[in-house]
Chain A
Amino acid sequence: MAKANRVDLTEKDYKGADSTMCRGCGHDAISASIMRAFFASSVDPRKVIKLSGIGCSSKTPNYFMNQAFGINAVHGRMASVATGANVGNHQLIPLGISGDGDTSAIGLGNFCHMMRRNVNITYVIENNGVYGLTKGQFSATADEGTVMKGGKINDMPAIDLCELAITLGATYVGRSFSGDRKQLAPLIQGAVAHKGTAILDVLSPCVTFNDHSGSTKSLKYIREHLDPLHDIDFIPPYENIEVDYEEGTDQEVTMHDGSRITLHKLGHNYDPTSRMQAVTALHGAVAEHKFLTGLIYLNEERAEFIEDLNLCDTPLAFLDQDAVQPPANWLDDINAELMK
């Protein structure tokens, strides 16, 4: 018997269709972390909505949780589709999968405004610095000086999506690496537990178009330049585990639903609830050509978007006629006003 979680599902229930990514693609590793995280957090896939735009990464929601509804929208607009979906049915758990082209180029504006609203979503960027489906052009997250297959050098600075997220109002911001499931899975669990926009910028090497020497997003380069802030554990609300807590080394953050994230510091003296420190640390990492990973910023204070809308409890999508059609005599009153 396979092990079942608290909603009586086994790991098999979190699977999707067979992946069509290239063999060894980082995106598949991210999908595996997603399945592990949702299983471990006992999230019922039927309560999850999977959203994506266009690109390699955006194909991947098909490859996990096939009992979850999914939508593969147009290029760059998943953030807006997710905003509408979240408001249309706020009881569901939005999981957005995007790429660096989708998010940092064509969809940058809509991405910014989703964060500004603090829409509740776990938004994963599968970041490889390159357009895969169109065969290898630079994206806007390609680092300055990185070399394209064929020798072209990128002379534009990269957009740091984590820094942007912190600046524009996202309330849970992390960076990770597709190959670091130990770090990525709990980061995803925390993002799902968090109410508000959770941005996870996940470095995910493109084994076909961006894995050569000279590239700063190759598997080798990334591995050599990773700089994790901390080890992360996610403890769901129903688990009463006491964690060995070491003053000055460990930090524990309790989330709204009662779940906890514990951060075991690795060399850095880092507090993710400080916006200033987060931005400073990101700048420092860029200067040192390092990829800072971990939970970079967390704000559990700011209300998520739907709270601002004062929505009724029943999802808007499921309101029946009696709930949404005003009585006919109210129209008589309006007519009377329009006679004046």
Chain B
Amino acid sequence: MPVVNDLSISVATANGSGSASSNNILFKSIFKMGIPCSSKNMFPSNIQGLPTWYQIRANGDGYLGRKDVIDVMVMFNDDTADKDIYRVRDGGLILYDDTKPLPDHLKRDGVQYLGVPANALVQKHVEAGPLRAKQRNMLYVGALAYLFGIDMDTIREVLSDTFGNKPAVIESNLLCIELGYNHMRDNGLSQSISMLEKIPGGNDGKIVTEGNTACALGAIYGGVTFCAWYPITPSSSLAEALERYLPRLRKDKDGKNTYAVIQAEDEIAATNMVAGAGWMGARAMTSTSGPGLSLMNETLGLQYFAEIPGVYFIIQRGGPSTGLPTRTQQADIQLMHVASHGDTRHIILIPHDMKSCFDLGRKSFDMADRFQTPVFVMMDLDLGMNLWGSDPLELVQEPFDRGKVLNADDLEKQGGFARYRDVDGDGVPQRTLPGTMHPMAAYFARGSGHDDQARYSEDENDYKETLDRLRRKHDTARSYVPKPLVESQPEVNTGVICFGSSYEAVREARDRLRAAGVETDHLLLRALPLTHEVREFVASHEVVYLMEQNRDGQMAAIFKEAYPEFATRIVSILIYDGLPATAGEIVRQVEQHREAVANGIETKVDESWQKQIASI
């Protein structure tokens, strides 16, 4: 008997072949059946012709991380077929286009092959034209629908939701899907891996979106008025979501814009525009990824030192250099944490799902205004660009925090102000906005050494005081940033810490470990600087697995610096192949470590790092 609602499908196509549309229909149909599902798009940095894989996971238990194994391979890309046949697990299924007979080198043992003559069918039934090649991909949607039990009514609904006002498009797609469906049915083809069954109400009230859209909506509700950006994968869709939603959400009564979005000439211009707008008092942001962040470093130092707010959405991808622009990673943590030359420490907010993308996207502007400094929202490609099911985005209604901004009346009452003086002992000075019509309002913002009245100074005491106050300000932020989410039980002495897009895979891994008799507590980190709850968690566990998606354990290094007395407790779980993390790999690394400890071979420090050092 096939299991119910536990399936991973990888669709191998060439990019630019129209598969984005067919994959979307497939994914949304499963979603509409009420089954928890997620999709991971492994796409190339290319416009047309390079291989792309779209991996869907349907899981009745609600696990949304990438599945470790591929149950079904849709082999629709000849260029990768010889490798794709080995990507599918033993006992899995390969669906291929059998218009022509399968060549011998694409045959392997231990898997089931099912054919659908997609080329032949579209040539016979679809009018010749540029769309025909693209329609071919709809055939596998139909074939899979029949094989796994997606009913045609659901597909019709999804087509109507997707192409609502284009009946001709709905019809032509439906025709191809039915061709695939009927072919499997009429030839009595079937599989025994898993069947998809509707879960009544399963996804009712749920949305499907990607993190970049949720962040953009968060920014809009957070009152962003200025965005300067430069196109770069995987962050462009965040700024483009702003451009899509702002005209609808943010016109004043005269139809004029309460925002400006500027596509800059490079990331250096973008960050400096943010600095200019932020200095004025506008809620200013940019979005970029690693290479852009590298270019922005100098101005991040200016914003830190001259104390100018700004929000930086960083959608991480594989680095260094161009790296893997279309794959996911969390390898810019330290670049964000201490961006710029000189001593800096930056605030980083870390969403892990769609709702927190929205919420922290909104909140980031309050943080930037409160602390008069750049605030990072740390994303990655998996969270930012892949589709995630979620409860609806929710607006927490609270007044904006514009921080310590003085107006002309305040200045009059107070008898002026000193821009960089720590009047409250929290390291956060008072600020005026240009345009404040008071003779004492003006100050000179500068990236060079200054005294507390913003005057140029090379005096060693002024300089040190400024550095120390900035450190104090960062410490104050510790009690303002989002607290971690902690799950703990008494008597459990193994902890797992993760953040960002790793959350789903870690949740699943912990359940698997529990099933294997290993209980763990969990801390979901949501911000830097580290809050006292994080310290307490590390202090109260003998072993703390810190899972992150980079080679060197960048977050672990931050922990070890912050908690040197607990440094040896922190064991890195590192996934850095550019693909979204899987529970299986996390479990494997945890078990490997436990085994080593059991055998008396303690490898508590990051294994890979030690190997690196040993090999030098």
Contact = CB atoms under 8 A, between A and B. Distances in A.
B145 to A, nearest CB: 19
Interface string B260-295: 101011101110111111111111100000000000
B250 A81 contact: no
B257 A311 contact: yes
Contact of B302 (A62, A73, A88): A73
Interface residues of A, number: 60
A19 interface: no
Contact of A326 (B213, B249, B272): B249
Interface in B298-318: 298-299, 301-302, 306
B221 interface: yes
A83 B250 contact: no
A92 B277 CA distance: 12
A316 B225 contact: yes
Nearest to B395: A328
B272 A74 contact: yes
A75 to B, nearest CB: 8
B281 A88 contact: yes
Nearest to A321: B400
Interface string B219-244: 01111111010000000000000000
Contacts of B279: 71, 81, 84-85, 88
A167 interface: no
Interface in B379-406: 392-395, 397, 399-400
B256 interface: yes
Interface string A79-91: 0111111111101
Q: How many B residues are at the interface, by size bracket?
A: 35 or more
Given A73-B447, A328-B397, A81 B275 contact: yes
A323 B258 contact: yes
B221 A319 contact: no
A81 B276 contact: yes
Interface stretch (A26-34, A227-235, A330-338): A330-338
A325 B223 contact: yes
A70 interface: yes
Interface in A267-289: none
Contacts of B513: none
B201 interface: no
Contacts of B455: 17
B282 A80 contact: no
Nearest to A75: B298
Contacts of A317: 225, 277, 280-282, 433-435
A80 B270 CA distance: 7
A77 B435 contact: no
A149 interface: no
A315 B280 contact: yes
A331 B281 contact: no
A88 B256 contact: no
A88 B276 contact: yes
Contact of B456 (A62, A69, A83, A335): A62
Interface in B401-438: 432-438
Contact of A316 (B206, B282, B298, B439): B282
A203 B79 CA distance: 63
A319 B225 contact: yes
Contacts of A340: 161-162
B441 A46 contact: yes
Given A338-B213, A338-B392, 8 more contacts: A49-B434, A89-B280, A312-B254, A316-B282, A317-B282, A324-B250, A339-B208, A340-B161
Q: Which 8 A-B pairs have the closest CB atoms?
A: A84-B276, A88-B280, A84-B273, A80-B272, A317-B281, A88-B277, A338-B207, A85-B276
22 contacts: A17-B455, A51-B276, A69-B432, A70-B443, A71-B445, A71-B446, A72-B444, A77-B268, A80-B269, A83-B276, A84-B228, A84-B273, A85-B277, A85-B434, A88-B279, A113-B264, A311-B260, A315-B282, A326-B221, A328-B397, A338-B209, A339-B208
Interface of A: 17, 45-47, 49, 51, 59, 61-62, 66-74, 77, 80-89, 91-92, 109-110, 112-113, 309-313, 315-321, 323-326, 328, 330-332, 334-335, 338-340
